[in-house]
Amino acid sequence: MDFFDRQAAAQKKTGLLVFYFILAIVCLIALIVVAISQIASIPWNDPQLLGYVTLGTVAVVTIGSLVKIAELAQGGRVVAAMLGGEPVTPNTTDPQEKKLLNVVEEMSLASGVPVPEVYVLNDNTINAFAAGHGPGDTAIGVTRGCIDKLSRDELQGVIAHEFSHILHGDMKLNVRLIGLLNGILCVALIGAFAMRIFAYIRVDDGGSSNDGDRKNGMALTVAVFLIGLAVYIIGYIGVFFGNLIKAAVSRQREFLADASAVQYTRNPDGIAGALWKIGKFESRLSSPHAEEASHLYFGDGLSARTFSFFDTHPPLEERIRAVAPNFEPPASLDMPPAPSSQRSSASAQPPPLPTQPVSTAETLERTLAGAAALLASVPDFALSNVRDLHGAIAFVYAMLLDERSDYREAQLASIGVDDAMRREVMGLYNRRSEIPLPQRLPLIDLVVPTLRQLSPDQYATFRENVHKLIAADQAVHLFEFALQKTLLRHLDLYFTRQTGASVKYRTIIPLLPSVQTLLSALAYIDHPDPAQRDAAFQAGVQQLMINAASYPMTRVDGCDLTRIDNALDEAAQASPQVKRTILAACREVVKHDGVVDTQQYELLRAIADSLDCPMPPLPPVTE
């Protein structure tokens, strides 16, 4: 199952979840109608009763759900803050937090997912979660006990489990679960509100002449109170069944995420060891919101329940047997030693990923070991800069400076930086040659979490400066284009909370001119021989299942970056299955001659990123 299969499966799961909750709401409406008809002596099939109850219940559930989802619209950081998480900055000096960040970075580079924000919860138990609407606004949270009590392999298993939720599209489903349950809970709260209000209404005691009115008023008060009580009870019955649905959905996804973590790390003992330690140290969270987000966690975050059908996670023994049937618990519970430095943990070589790629857009087998090796090979000065806010800004500027001195001076003048920033930018530019070309785009990926620390106004200035640096030489180069499509796109999503493009194209036919441009552009790169170029293009066209003769290569002057950008804007509006076809065709062009050129891969990454498909960086190669 590739990335697009997982996204399609997630959409089906969301549809099934919505169906279950609609069924629960219908049952709520039916119970409320029956309760009111009995208390108020109104026929249950009275059109007005049915209409008012249906409209009222649907309105309460819808508004309650939308309000909660709107609260979480700013992404995973809101959930992390709600649970008491503290952000871990990229330049942290805590050895255990460095270990955590390094594992997250490795997994991000191996999967092509933007590096998420990382939070630590001040709980000594062992647990973790991933939250957000999609890869661009994800936050990963772990407890203090998780990073203190787990070895690096065990921590990597936990993080791989959370990345599985990201890649399977589970996070959006999780947010909708929180919203829908809150909507049903609001029905119960309306009932409680009615009881509190009408329980204290006093009917005017005006004398015997008003005895009839007084009795009628008392009867009305009692009836409304009883209706409020009934709605309160029925609302919590709805919450009861909503939690059953949540638990059933969550349990199945936990088994899948465990299995995926083993696939990603090829180390079943890592995640099995983490699960075993949960049994010894517990996974319960102290946050008052722990119940609300119980389906997000790696382990059960709540106290033991009387009834197992409310459990959002399978029993630990079952999970361990599923991933490592021959797992042998360690002889002691000695804590793992703290890492001595970030670089030493980066050089650890985790086992490789399976041959099945993380995403359709991969052209080579990707490994966590390769991601670790890439991080270990990056010069120290580059890593230290991308993890410092001031240094990260300077690093991006330095990567965009032109090699011609007169253009370089014009670029620096256009952004108006102060002397200190100018010196830092030029210092990094002078050492830019020490960073191999294939490492530059992965380093840009690592800049993203650092630049999220900017204020909105600071980001607006940074974004404007990036555009000025690119435009100063009156030509957009491929690396600059790829940087725009990766760095700025992810930061735009973070700071502006933009949503992805809606689906406009469900077949490839109306997109063929755009795809023709993309395939041609990829074929022109590193194919000076016309015959090779045409063969690479035809290899991509064959993936489209169309008459190749009707779609020849676009002329080279029709493949400039402006036209590529327009083509990507169109392709971004395709359905997941159409995007899969486009990326498969692009991949065939790139790998046709058996050699992946750095420029080809930069453009392929820009294409994949525009289509919301995670794609790992190119591993270090000899230039």
Structural domain harbouring 187: 3-73+173-239
pLDDT tier, 11 (very low <50, low <70, confident <90, very high otherwise): low
Q: In terms of domains, do 428 and 473 share one? A: yes
Strand 117-121 relative to strand 139-143, pairing: parallel
Which of 445, 471, 496 is the last residue before a domain boundary?
Answer: 496
Q: Which of 49-63, 146-160, 337-351, 375-389 has the lowest mean pLDDT?
A: 337-351
Tell me, what's the pLDDT at 432? Answer: 92
Beta-bridged to residue 574, according to DSSP, are: 505
Q: In terms of domains, do 430 and 537 share one? A: no
Tokens of residue 599, six digits:
């420029």
Tell me, what's the pLDDT at 561? Answer: 85
Tell me, what's the pLDDT at 363? Answer: 33
Residue 412, domain member (yes or no): yes
Q: Which of 314-318, 389-393, 514-518 has the lowest mean pLDDT?
A: 314-318
Q: Is the pLDDT of residue 378 over 70?
A: yes
Q: Which of 210-219, 373-382, 513-522 has the lowest mean pLDDT?
A: 210-219
Model pLDDT for residues 336-364, shown as the tens digit of each residue: 655 544 444 433 333 333 333 334 333 33
Q: In terms of domains, do 448 and 576 share one? A: no
Cα separations in angstroms, 241 against 21, 180, 304, 357, 483: 9, 12, 19, 38, 48
Which of 496, 518, 541 is the last residue before a domain boundary?
Answer: 496
Q: In terms of domains, do 580 and 482 share one? A: no
What mean pLDDT do residues 242-266 have?
81
Q: In terms of domains, do 384 and 472 share one? A: yes
Residue 337, domain member (yes or no): no
Q: Print the SS3 string covering 374-420.
A: HHHHCCHHHHHHHCCHHHHHHHHHHHHCCCCHHHHHHHHHHHCCCHH
Alpha-carbon gap, residue 272 to 252, rounded angstroms: 17
What mean pLDDT do residues 595-618 have?
79
As a whole-number percent, the residues of the chain with pLDDT over 90 amount to 26
Tell me, what's the pLDDT at 347? Answer: 37
CB atoms within 10 A of CB 340: 10
Which of 448, 473, 496 is the last residue before a domain boundary?
Answer: 496
DSSP 297: B
CB atoms within 10 A of CB 369: 18
Residue 592, domain member (yes or no): yes
Q: In terms of domains, do 453 and 529 share one? A: no
Q: In terms of domains, do 62 and 188 share one? A: yes
Tell me, what's the pLDDT at 454? Answer: 93
Q: In terms of domains, do 479 and 602 share one? A: no
Q: In terms of domains, do 463 and 531 share one? A: no
Alpha-carbon gap, residue 69 to 448, rounded angstroms: 25
Residue 47, domain member (yes or no): yes
Residue 529, domain member (yes or no): yes
Q: Which of 328-337, 346-355, 553-562 has the lowest mean pLDDT?
A: 346-355
Q: Which of 49-63, 241-255, 475-489, 507-521 has the lowest mean pLDDT?
A: 241-255
Q: Is the pLDDT of residue 618 over 90?
A: no
Tell me, what's the pLDDT at 329? Answer: 83
State the total domains in the chain.
3
Tell me, what's the pLDDT at 310? Answer: 66
Q: Which of 562, 611, 566, 561 is nearest to 586 (CA)?
A: 611
Residue 477, domain member (yes or no): yes
Model pLDDT for residues 38-89, shown as the tens digit of each residue: 887 888 888 888 898 899 888 988 998 888 888 887 788 889 999 999 999 9
Alpha-carbon gap, residue 310 to 246, rounded angstroms: 8
Q: Which of 191-195, 351-355, 446-450 has the lowest mean pLDDT?
A: 351-355
Residue 328, domain member (yes or no): no
Tell me, what's the pLDDT at 362? Answer: 37
Q: In terms of domains, do 487 and 514 share one? A: no
Q: In terms of domains, do 384 and 487 share one? A: yes
pLDDT tier, 617 (very low <50, low <70, confident <90, very high otherwise): low
The answer, as to whether pTM is greater than 0.95, is no
Tell me, what's the pLDDT at 431? Answer: 93
Tell me, what's the pLDDT at 570? Answer: 93
Catalytic residues, which ones?
162
Q: Is the pLDDT of residue 405 over 80?
A: yes
Tell me, what's the pLDDT at 71? Answer: 81
Alpha-carbon gap, residue 559 to 464, rounded angstroms: 26
Mean of pLDDT over the chain: 81
pLDDT tier, 99 (very low <50, low <70, confident <90, very high otherwise): very high
Q: In terms of domains, do 476 and 543 share one? A: no
Q: Is the pLDDT of residue 333 over 80?
A: no
What mean pLDDT do residues 490-510 have?
82
As a whole-number percent, the residues of the chain with pLDDT over 70 amount to 84
Q: Is the pLDDT of residue 118 over 90?
A: yes
Q: Which of 169-173, 216-220, 505-509 has the lowest mean pLDDT?
A: 216-220
Judge residue 219's burial from the number of C-beta atoms within 10 Å of its C-beta, 0-12 exposed, 13-18 middle, 19 or more buried: exposed
Phi-psi region of 155 (alpha: psi -120 to 50; beta: other; left: phi over 0): alpha
Q: Which amino acid is at 405?
A: S
Tell me, what's the pLDDT at 84? Answer: 92
Residue 435, domain member (yes or no): yes
Tell me, what's the pLDDT at 214? Answer: 60
Output 55-63 pairs: Cβ under 8 A, ≥24 positions apart. Answer: 57/25, 57/28, 57/29, 57/32, 57/187, 58/25, 58/29, 60/183, 60/186, 60/187, 60/190, 61/25, 61/28, 61/180, 61/183, 61/184, 61/186, 61/187, 62/183, 63/183, 63/186
Q: Is the pLDDT of residue 96 over 90?
A: yes
What mean pLDDT do residues 296-301 have?
87
Q: Which amino acid is at 458?
A: Q
Tokens of residue 335, six digits:
């804590």
